Amino acid sequence: MKRVVQILLVLLLVFSAASCGEKLYTPGSYEGAAPGIHGKDVIVEVTVDEKEIKEIRILQNEETPGLSDAAFERIPKAIIDGQTLAVDTVAGATYTSKAIIAAVTEALAAAGADIAALSEGKAEADVVTAATENLEADVVVIGAGGAGLSAAVSAHQNGATVIILEKMPQVGGNTIISGAAYNAVDPERQEPLGIEDSIEKHFTQTYEGGDKLGEPVLIRTLVENALPTLHWMESLGMEFRDEVFTVLGGLWPRAHKPVKPLGTGYIETLMAYIEDNKDRILLLTDTRATDLYKRDGRVIAVQATGPDSTILAQGKKAVIIATGGFGNDVEKREKYNEIWPSLKNIKSTNHPGATGDGLALAEMVGADLIGLEQIQLLPMGDPNTGSLAGNIEQGVENRIFVNKDGKRFVDEGARRDVMTNALFEQEDSFMWIVLDSNNYPTMDTKNNFNETIGELVEQGRAYMADSLEELAGKIDVDPENLKAAVAEFNQAVETGGPDRFGRTLFDKKIDTPPYYAGARTPTVHHTMGGIKINESAQVIDTEGKVIPGLYAAGETTGGIHGANRLGGNALPDIHVFGRIAGANAAAE
């Protein structure tokens, strides 16, 4: 018995000696790299012998001095002390911590380590992340729609490092789902089509179309910079079609249409630039700005809630608010609406993030908010969703609207508020857009929302018929009324109007079958009021003074569109002022 125990003990000793001698690494020094906070690699050198991680040296880092120091001190030490990769990240420097761990992991993998064994318990370690993450850049942009991304690109082009905070999991905001029409006086595209236009006309139509409530100096900035900013977008790779058109409520054929569907062209173009320059532009999605901080009267930082930490993003030069409008915030609509019947049950064209967060942020630091009662509705919502998708109109000139009786009721080339008000007066606030195959030469022809007329008909979202009579039957309106409405319209096309509604925008008759109809109702589209800015996109306080270090651009601002925004003026607005805000913020 004693012998057996002795033999077992010897065997045990032999085994444990063998496991002590197990080779964990191939001895030597190994490099590893992983992107840090600004996208630039953190490079480490890890020295190992057969059994231990001996030394970790940081060969290269461009992390934020001061804020990242603790991570460089603690993470390598924690890895060596514990001989593990399952170490906690350092509060306030999560990104740098993760970069160091990832770089060391890469080096150890090259040394032949069992990474899974070394990382055991890592998931738990990741959960215990920082209470507050400190980040820093020259310019912090809140919101990654058209205005915010333009601001970020322009700030970078002017030499700044940038942090963009976006609360949604994806970028694009309302911009990416918009109809995307961009108004600019553009002789190169308009003259070949025989369209007369001028900056002065664009100014006057914008000013008067907004009931003279817009700030003339902001409108001038908009109309004068619309074309240069369109060229700037083109210089970044954006493509527009050669033809211009009149967009709903645009009053004049100066709307440019991107080659790519909806607003995807703008966002993809700006994002491609940001991707190419990610060493100096940090984009954080799922990160909602909640507070602004001021020091000595100057806005210096943004607090935000990220996916796994609170973030304090310091803007050494400036902060730019580009959070969009509040069209999807029913409470705010109810609070500010003075003009429309209750908007509580009206749907919206907006993305879910359009909740006006920028207003509260700006108010926190004393900004003046103006024109919040100016809420734009369109007569163009899908009756089920409020979305613009499914809209069959191609341009203003070649379609009419009829109510449930099959009768026209408004100048279909009028201002958006005029058309929507008229629609509210119709039975069930409901109308049909009626047009013919001049707009859709084939079933594969697409509307402005990347949908073919064939699929809309198939899905029951549009109706098609070979005669007006048959169409009337399908949409359940009086056939005589519908025929009379079209006949009257066709007559006005011949004379050029104005017709009895005052309509002057005509092109082709509605006379080529098949005919199409699509249903539409009022929908909340754009909030024209917001943060008061000057022509440099600086935010103005309630005493009329500039708030140092704070800029705003896009739908979150007020003072440009007055009581009614012209169709096609939002895209130049957000990009013109985004670009100005970015350049000026970088120059602070």
> Looking at the annotation, which residues are catalytic?
416
The residue from 529, 554, 562, 567 that contacts ligand ADP (CB under 6 A) is 554
Q: Which residue is nearest to ligand ADP (CB)?
A: 145
Among the residue ranges 143-151, 203-211, 338-346, 479-487, the one whose residues contact ligand ADP (CB under 6 A): 143-151
The encoded tokens of residue 56 equal 């970790």
Residue 245 backbone dihedrals phi, psi, to 5 degrees = -150, 175
Q: Report the alpha-carbon distance of residue 528 to residue 524 in Å, rounded.
A: 11
User: Which residue, 32 or 554, is less far from ligand ADP as judged by CB?
Assistant: 554
Q: Report the alpha-carbon distance of residue 185 to residue 220 in Å, rounded.
A: 13
Show the site string, 251-290: x = touches ligand ADP by CB under 6 A, - = not.
-------------------------------------xx-
Instruction: Please report how the helices 69-82 and 94-110 are oriented relative to each other, as an axis angle in degrees rounded to 10.
Output: 40
User: Which residue, 199 or 364, is less far from ligand ADP as judged by CB?
Assistant: 364
Our finding on whether 174 is near ligand ADP (CB under 6 A) is: yes
User: Which residue, 154 or 174, is less far from ligand ADP as judged by CB?
Assistant: 174
Show the site string, 366-405: x = touches ligand ADP by CB under 6 A, - = not.
----------------------------------------
Among the residue ranges 83-91, 172-180, 442-450, 535-543, the one whose residues contact ligand ADP (CB under 6 A): 172-180
Q: Using an 8 Å Cβ cutoff, are 131 and 95 in contact? A: no
DSSP run (H or E) holding 295: strand 288-295
The residue from 32, 76, 92, 173 that contacts ligand ADP (CB under 6 A) is 173
Q: Report the alpha-carbon distance of residue 99 to residue 87 in Å, rounded.
A: 13
At closest approach, how far in Å is the CB of 573 from ligand ADP? 8
Our finding on whether 559 is near ligand ADP (CB under 6 A) is: no
At closest approach, how far in Å is the CB of 507 from ligand ADP? 30
Q: Using an 8 Å Cβ cutoff, are 461 and 469 in contact? A: no
CA pseudo-torsion sign 326, 330, 331, 334:
positive
Q: Report the alpha-carbon distance of residue 547 to residue 536 in Å, rounded.
A: 12
The residue from 324, 386, 559, 567 that contacts ligand ADP (CB under 6 A) is 324
At closest approach, how far in Å is the CB of 180 from ligand ADP? 11
At closest approach, how far in Å is the CB of 129 from ligand ADP? 20
Please count the other Cβ atoms lying within 10 Å of the Cβ belonging to residue 448: 22
The residue from 32, 36, 76, 148 that contacts ligand ADP (CB under 6 A) is 148
Residue 521: beta bridge partners? 381
The residue from 139, 147, 388, 517 that contacts ligand ADP (CB under 6 A) is 147
Residue in 263, 268, 266, 251 with CA at minimum distance from that of residue 185: 251
The residue from 64, 94, 134, 323 that contacts ligand ADP (CB under 6 A) is 323
For 535, counting Cβ atoms within 10 Å of its Cβ (0-12 exposed, 13-18 middle, 19+ buried), the class is middle
The structure tokens 């100066």 sit at 254
User: Which residue, 423 or 576, is less far from ligand ADP as judged by CB?
Assistant: 576
The residue from 32, 76, 92, 146 that contacts ligand ADP (CB under 6 A) is 146
For 438, counting Cβ atoms within 10 Å of its Cβ (0-12 exposed, 13-18 middle, 19+ buried), the class is middle
Contacts of 430 (CB under 8 A, 6+ apart): 383, 403, 404, 423, 519, 520, 521
Our finding on whether 322 is near ligand ADP (CB under 6 A) is: yes
- Rounding to the nearest 10 degrees, give the CA dihedral for residues 67, 72, 74, 77: 180
Residue in 562, 586, 557 with CA at minimum distance from that of residue 573: 557
Find the binding residues for ligand ADP in span 337-356 (CB under 6 A): 353-354
Euclidean distance between the first and the last CA atom of the chain, given in angstroms as a whole number: 87
The residue from 53, 118, 144, 274 that contacts ligand ADP (CB under 6 A) is 144
Find the binding residues for ligand ADP in span 452-511 (CB under 6 A): none
Query: Count of residues binding ligand ADP (CB under 6 A)?
Result: 26
Our finding on whether 301 is near ligand ADP (CB under 6 A) is: no
Q: Which residues bind ligand ADP (CB under 6 A)?
A: 142-148, 165-168, 173-175, 288-289, 322-324, 353-354, 357, 554-556, 574
